[in-house]
Amino acid sequence: MQGSQFKLDLHVDSNKNSFRNSLKNGEFNILFQINVPEIDCNPDTIFNRCDPFIKTVEKIRKLNCGIAVLNGKRHQNPLNVIEFASQLEFSDINKNVFFVSGRNNTEKYIYETVEAALRTGIKNIVPVSGDFLPADEYGNLKNVNFYESVRSLKLINKYFNEMEIFSGTVLNPFKYTPLDLYPQYFKLMKKIKLGANYIFTQTGWDLLKLQELRWYLEKRNFFMPSIAKFYFLNPDYVEDIISGKLPGVRISPDFLSILRKESNVGFTQFMSAQWRKLQLMLTGLKFIGYSGVLIEGLESSSDVNVAQIKIKEAFNEFSSFEDWKNAYSEYLARAEMAPYPYRFYMYRNLFKEAYADNAREKNVKIPDCTAKEKLKYKFSEFLWKGKTGKNGKISLKKLIFRCADCREEKCILQNLFYVCYKKCPKKMVNGPCGDTKADGSCHIMKRNCIFGKIFRLANWRKAINFLEEDIL
Ligand code: SF4
């Protein structure tokens, strides 16, 4: 990586990976988020804040704590995560996790970043595709590219040894229509097959959705660890969510009215309600089989100190799932966390029990394709036979499929049920990004996400299994 100044004086034991070992041993991990700064930040300000924060986390006893480093502030030009991490002072670098974004990055950049991670002793990498930012007007999107997380995982799998890089992935389970939810899981399956060892969820407060993920994995015999992302709310962040500044993160009307009531009684009461929420969420996560939590929104060492006290109290407070469920029901469970009218959950009896033994899946009716969609598919199939070579018959494709001539080695139109991925503003190929709106529509364009349509076509062709195969 050009211009990087990697400090190599970290305390690295090449065989040791504390994060990996703790997941293997079934310990509950508590990761505190540090945000990657903007490229032109003042380094002194950043390191003067981050180093005491890291030291405070490292001093915590009786809880298994670490740091997660990511572009949480959604900067337009963030520093390279490994370059940033190499300048922080960690006593055991592999207690921590580092998220590598594909936003505006290429295959070469991802390769070089992972290589730099190895040189720096970093093993725990979570590739993500990256975010569309408010400053990215649709017209300018041509200038922004997203290197998809599926492709990054494939690259890591191909070029790096599993013992060297312990890679994870991210899923947004907070989706409330079948057409929106299942494609997220199809994509997750691709990532698991490509070597993702653990799952982080995106931010959300709906524990039923988090349990749905555990049950889905268990029902399919994937017992891989999952870590939920929890945002410690403050009034500003609530406003950011409501105004749509954080795509993919949503607060249901019921939950919002609870937050409004909490904030009406004053800042101190609002904050104490948030600490209680953190306590209930974290203990609930433990009971339903999560391996940890990533906490965003705690800004200072003193916040971390309060958090550790609150978490220890909560872990001692509840001795069983039933005890916890009663307390949670009194506090939050009566609130509808789904963004009504969208409220689809895969299982009927979520929350009745902690584990998936008696999980009952709902019968799902996937909306049928229209007669026009079916006709177009058949026509495409007829015309397309044998024309999948490099740039095959571009003029014909352009005419019939409004092909954008992506110049991929092998045309993948057929694999996407004749829906060109160039119609997705982020050019996702292997499945949806996590940011669809509550009704499943695209968060950038005023139209449905292309992966809902691909799912309907695959369902009609009885080829749903195919949606779990990576495409590019
Ligand atoms: S079409 Fe779907 S995957 Fe593409 S940007 Fe929109 S919501 Fe994300």
Atom of ligand 1 nearest to the CA of 132: 5
Distance 449 CA to ligand 1 centre (A): 5
pLDDT given at position 148: 96
Percent of the chain scored above 90 by pLDDT? 67
Within a domain: residue 2?
no
Long-range contacts of 387-390 (CB under 8 A, 24+ apart): 387/411, 388/413, 388/414
* 132 alpha carbon – ligand 1 mean position (Å): 10
In a domain, 8, yes or no: no
Span 41-88, pLDDT tens digits: 888 888 899 999 999 999 999 999 999 999 887 788 999 999 999 999
Q: Work out the average pLDDT over 231-240.
A: 84
Look at residues 358, 388, 412 and tell me which one is the last residue of a structural domain.
358
User: 86 CA distance to ligand 1 centroid (A)?
Assistant: 33
Q: How far is the CA of 187 from the centre of ligand 1 (A)?
A: 13
Cα(181) to centroid of ligand 1, in Å? 13
Residue 381 — very low, low, confident or very high, per pLDDT cuts 50/70/90?
confident
Per-residue confidence (pLDDT) for residue 388, from 0 to 100: 52
What is the residue with the minimal CA distance to atom 4 of ligand 1?
Answer: 424
Weakest-pLDDT range from 178-187, 250-259, 276-285, 381-390: 381-390
Q: How far is the CA of 434 from the centre of ligand 1 (A)?
A: 8
Task: Evaluate if residue 409 carries a pLDDT over 70.
Answer: no
In angstroms, what is the span from residue 445 Cα to ligand 1's centroid?
8
Number of structural domains (the chain) is 2
- Residues 39, 76: contact at Cβ < 8 Å? no
Q: Pick the range with the lowest mean pLDDT from 9-23, 108-122, 230-244, 447-461.
A: 9-23
Q: Report which of 443, 426, 449 is spatially closest to residue 104, judged by C-alpha positions.
A: 426
Q: Which amino acid is at 219?
A: K
Residues 174 and 106 in one domain: yes
| pLDDT single digits (tens) 151-181 | 999 999 999 987 789 999 999 999 999 999 9
* Residue 263 binned pLDDT confidence (cut-offs 50, 70, 90): confident
Which ligand 1 atom is the nearest neighbour of the CA of 432? 3
What pLDDT was estimated at residue 31?
A: 98
Same domain, 350 and 381: no
Q: Is the pLDDT of residue 4 over 60?
A: no
Q: Which of 298, 327, 358 is at the close of a domain?
A: 358
In the predicted structure, residue 264 carries a pLDDT above the cut 90: no
- For residue 450, give the ligand 1 atom closest to its CA: 1
User: What is the predicted pLDDT for the residue at 253?
Assistant: 87
Asked if the structure places residue 270 within a domain, the reply is yes
265 or 204: which leads in pLDDT: 204
In a domain, 3, yes or no: no
Cα separation, 221 vs 215, in Å, equals: 10
389 class by beta-carbon count within 10 Å (0-12 exposed, 13-18 middle, 19+ buried):
exposed
Q: What is the mean pLDDT of residues 356-375?
A: 94
Q: Are residues 392 and 344 in the same domain?
A: no
What is the pLDDT confidence band of residue 3, given thresholds at 50, 70 and 90? Answer: very low
Residue 221, pLDDT above cutoff 50: yes
CB contact at 8 A, 94 and 19? yes
The two beta strands, 64-70 and 29-35, are parallel
Question: End of a domain among 358, 380, 413?
Answer: 358
Residue whose CA is at the smallest distance from ligand 1 atom 6: 442
CA-434 nearest atom, ligand 1: 8
Residue 43 has a pLDDT of 84
Closest CA to 366 of 179, 173, 175: 179
- 6 has a pLDDT exceeding 50: no
The domain in which residue 199 lies consists of 18-358
- Kindly tell me if the per-residue pLDDT of 8 is higher than 50: no
In a domain, 363, yes or no: no
Q: What is the 3-state secondary structure (H, E, C) of 167-219?
A: ECEEECCCCCCHHHHHHHHHHHHHHHHCCCCCEEEEECCCHHHHHHHHHHHHH
Q: What is the CATH number of the domain that holds 332?
A: 3.20.20.220
| % of the chain surpassing 70 pLDDT | 91
Q: Cβ distance 85 to 51 under 8 Å? A: no
Asked whether residue 443 falls in the same domain as residue 318, the answer is: no
Same-domain status, 300 and 400: no
Q: What is the pLDDT of residue 136?
A: 79
Q: 165 with 289, same domain?
A: yes
Q: What number does the ligand 1 atom closest to the CA of 441 have?
A: 7
Enumerate residues lining ligand 1, CB below 6 A: 424-426, 428, 432-433, 435-436, 442-444, 449-451
182 and 323 in a single domain? The answer is: yes
Query: Is 11 contained in some domain?
Result: no
Task: Report which protein residue has its CA nearest ligand 1's atom 7.
Answer: 442
State both tokens at 311.
Answer: 């978490």
Q: Band the pLDDT of 5: cuts 50, 70, 90.
A: very low
My answer on whether 284 and 223 are in the same domain is yes
CA of 437 to the centre of ligand 1 (A): 10
Q: Look at ligand 1, atom 3, and give the residue with the nearest C-alpha.
A: 432
- What is the mean pLDDT of the segment spanning 252-259? 86
Q: Tell me, yes or no, whether 271 and 212 share the same domain.
A: yes
Q: Mean pLDDT for the chain?
A: 89
